[in-house]
Amino acid sequence: MLMVRMLFQTAALLVVLALVLFWPAGTLAWPAGWAFISEMGVFSLALGSWLAIKDPALLAERLGPPIAKDQKGWDRLFMLAALVCVFGWFAIMGWDGGRAHRGAVPASLQVAGAVFIALCMGVCWLTFRSNSFAAPVVKVQAGRGHRVVTDGPYAIVRHPMYAGAVAYFLGVPLLLGSWIGLAMTPALVLGLAIRAVAEEAELRASLEGYADYAVKVRFRLVPGLW
């Protein structure tokens, strides 16, 4: 049943992404758009299938709604704003990359964009392999024995999935050929940074051992920088 749910939600997400991209593009004859949808489909199915076998409890958490009743109020507001901003970002890239073509992105950079997206998905897999509590909402999962994870990518940065998301925010506009989308990336990364700080405040207060872990692993997203 969980696998069926994963397949359905993955298909629904791909349909929504296609609509948000191709409607502003005004055409279906957009190879970069189809390349993105295809790459997202392959990686989403691969990660979802792996989780269904290796960690169904985490998959169930990640298939939950982005707004949950046990979620902190500030995180609910953040997720609502993030959904609006991200889907708006995709729509703008659909118009810019698929219709306006305001300065072509070189093919080599589009390939680099696909590589950045793959890098993000690889980081997600490493995160899921190490942390069974990597839910999409900020909460302490007491019922699942939530504990601080310190191995794998968590030994390098405190928020490896956010670090992977930085690569995603760079890769998507490059692959889609949108300079405007790339120019918006710093604002999206800033949003991640704000959520990381707020999430840490919650974990320091509610999750035993997190404060000590934060002292040991100094950097949040980028080793040696922040």
d(CA 65, CA 83): 12
pLDDT tens, 66-97? 777 777 778 888 888 999 999 999 999 999 99
Domain ranges of the chain: 2-216
CATH for 2-216, options being 3.10.20.30, 2.90.10.10, 3.80.30.10, 1.20.120.1630: 1.20.120.1630
d(CA 189, CA 225): 14
**Count of residues in the chain:** 226
Using CA atoms, how far residue 128 sits from 74, 133, 154, 155, in Å, is 25, 8, 11, 14
pLDDT tens, 129-143? 999 888 787 776 666
> How far does CA 73 lie from the centroid of its chain?
21
- In whole angstroms, how large is the CA radius of gyration of the chain? 18
What are residue 207's phi and psi, to 5 degrees?
-115, 115
**pTM exceeds 0.75 for this model:** yes
